[in-house]
Structure 1
């Protein structure tokens, strides 16, 4: 008899500025990443957007202003690089409103890429690559 699995939840943003999409690279793994991250245990029963804004503030600084659509655009499987935990990505679309990005030490690279021409396979891998390809196919 199989047992129920326990999975972490990570919320990721497809952050756009017009046709430009913000992509990051995880410093530890060297793999492509998107803004956002795992929900803390104490955030589960709160408003989930608080978790998103905490992660964005941690990763992109508190000078950035964004508008997040609270309706998820899709859900995808993932393995978190740190510890290889099975995880569920809840993906959201967001728009840059203004401000300056101050990249945290979690990421060592960022770029605004054109959604109509970007090839994610040079930066992203595994499930994150699948998720970015899915996004580009639907929303580019």
Structure 2
């Protein structure tokens, strides 16, 4: 008999500024990433938007303002680079409203790229690559 799995939840943003979206690079793995991150245990029974807004502040800085559509655009599987944990990505569409982006030490690179012609394959790998491809196919 199989047992129930235990999985982490990661919320990621496709943060748009017009026809561009923000990509980042994880400083530990060197792989592509998106703003957002794993939900803490004490956040699970709260409003999940609090968790993603916390991550945005941590990763993009206190002054950044975003408008997140709370309806997920898709759900995808993922493996957290650190520790290889199985994880569920919940992807949201978000709008950049302003503020100065100051990336944390979790990331060492960021760039606004065009949804029309961005090729994610040099930077993104595995499930994150699949997720970005899904997004570009559906929302470019």
The TM-score bracket by the shorter chain reads over 0.9
Shift of 1:25: 0.2
Q: Secondary structure in 2 aligned to 1:51?
A: helix
2-side partners of 1:128 and 1:20: how far apart? 18
Shift of 1:37: 0.2
Shift of 1:131: 0.2
* 1:18 corresponds to: 18
2-side partners of 1:23 and 1:74: how far apart? 18
1-side partners of 2:54 and 2:77: how far apart? 22
2-side partners of 1:90 and 1:124: how far apart? 17
Say whether residues 1:87 and 2:87 are aligned partners: yes
Q: CA RMSD in A?
A: 0.4
2-side partners of 1:108 and 1:64: how far apart? 18
1-side partners of 2:25 and 2:57: how far apart? 17
Q: Secondary structure in 2 aligned to 1:13?
A: strand
2-side partners of 1:84 and 1:62: how far apart? 29
TM-score normalised per structure 1:
0.99
Q: Secondary structure in 2 aligned to 1:77?
A: strand
Count of residue correspondences? 140
1-side partners of 2:116 and 2:24: how far apart? 18
2-side partners of 1:6 and 1:26: how far apart? 24
Q: Secondary structure in 2 aligned to 1:121?
A: coil
* 2:61 corresponds to: 61
1-side partners of 2:39 and 2:62: how far apart? 19
Runs of at least 5 residues in structure 1 that lack an aligned partner in the other structure: none
Runs of at least 5 residues in structure 2 that lack an aligned partner in the other structure: none
Provide Cα deviations, 1:81-134, integer angstroms capped at 9, x if missing partner.
111000000000000011110000000000000010100001100000000000
